[in-house]
Amino acid sequence: MRDALVAAAFRLFLERGYEQTTVDDIVALAGVGRRSFFRYFPSKEDVVFPDHERCLADMTAFLAASADDDEPVRRVCDAARLVLRMYAENPTFSVQRYRLTKEVPGLRAYELSVVWRYERALAAYLRRRFAARRDGTLRADVIAAAVVAAHNNALRSWLRSDGRGEANAAMDHALAYVQSAFGGTPVPPAVEQPEDVVVVVSRRDAPLWRVVQEIESVMGRP
């Protein structure tokens, strides 16, 4: 029933537009009553984001199951990947929702409230992990905001491509910035090896064969 309501809603949103579609239109197409709609969705906005409550619950459970020796920044980055997985499970639906949200100011505001809840879940976990630090609350809030910003950058780039390409690779690249800044010792850059230079000192009047012989000797060639 829940999936049928979502399918009916998006069919009408695409055909008529979001503002022109009512809850009565949705239930009529789905073949159910209004009571059935509101049993699953508190409002018309909620039918646009039907999977976020489940994803938020999964993220909260994932963070709650963390071990004491889990690196906190890596853990919240892994938690953010759960949101990407939700979007990647149904690329067509995710792209349709992205386009619809761009067109409807009310949905953009609703989406911001959803993103804020994810950020608060990440920050709450980090606050517990950094509770012993003098700047623990500040650090937790800054890192949570950075994770969400990196996640959204990669996700929206993938959505703008109509869900083509490798979403996980873009997300790993974005979250690597957060981990390098806050998650312990960053990976050092590759060190360029010095050139192997051979210097031979010879008399100006020495024959060329003698100079070549000295070079070969230094370089270990017979």
Residues 22 and 98 in one domain: no
The confidence score (pLDDT) of residue 209 equals 52
- Return the CATH number at 75: 1.10.357.10
The residues, ordered by sequence, that sit 6+ positions from 19 with a Cβ below 8 Å of its Cβ are 104
Residues 41 and 53 in one domain: no
Residue 207 lies in a domain: no
**Residue that terminates a domain, selected from 45, 61, 78:** 45
The confidence score (pLDDT) of residue 165 equals 77
What is the arithmetic mean of pLDDT over 137-142? 96
The confidence score (pLDDT) of residue 188 equals 41
Residue 23 lies in a domain: yes
pLDDT of 88 higher than 70 = yes
The confidence score (pLDDT) of residue 211 equals 58
**Residue that terminates a domain, selected from 151, 167, 182:** 182
Residues 124 and 20 in one domain: no
Residues 70 and 126 in one domain: yes
Residues 37 and 59 in one domain: no
Residues 116 and 34 in one domain: no
- Return the CATH number at 11: 1.10.10.60
The per-residue pLDDT of the chain, averaged, comes to 86
pLDDT of 118 higher than 70 = yes
Residues 36 and 104 in one domain: no
pLDDT in tens, 196-215: 555 656 666 666 656 556 66
The confidence score (pLDDT) of residue 11 equals 93
Establish how many alpha carbons lie within 13 A of residue 128's alpha carbon, considering only the half-sphere containing its beta carbon. 15
Residues 15 and 75 in one domain: no
**Residue that terminates a domain, selected from 9, 29, 45:** 45
Residue 130 lies in a domain: yes
pLDDT of 60 higher than 70 = yes
The confidence score (pLDDT) of residue 167 equals 84
pLDDT in tens, 153-193: 999 999 999 888 788 888 999 999 999 999 754 434 434 44
Residues 84 and 106 in one domain: yes
Q: What percent of the chain has pLDDT over 90?
A: 68
Residues 61 and 139 in one domain: yes
pLDDT in tens, 13-34: 989 999 999 999 999 999 988 9
What is the arithmetic mean of pLDDT over 102-115? 91
Residues 174 and 100 in one domain: yes
What's the rounded Cα separation, in Å, for the pair 173 and 154?
Answer: 8
Residue 200 lies in a domain: no
Residue 209 lies in a domain: no
Residue 75 lies in a domain: yes
How many independent structural domains does the chain possess?
2
Full residue range of the structural domain in which residue 29 is found: 1-45
Residues 16 and 55 in one domain: no
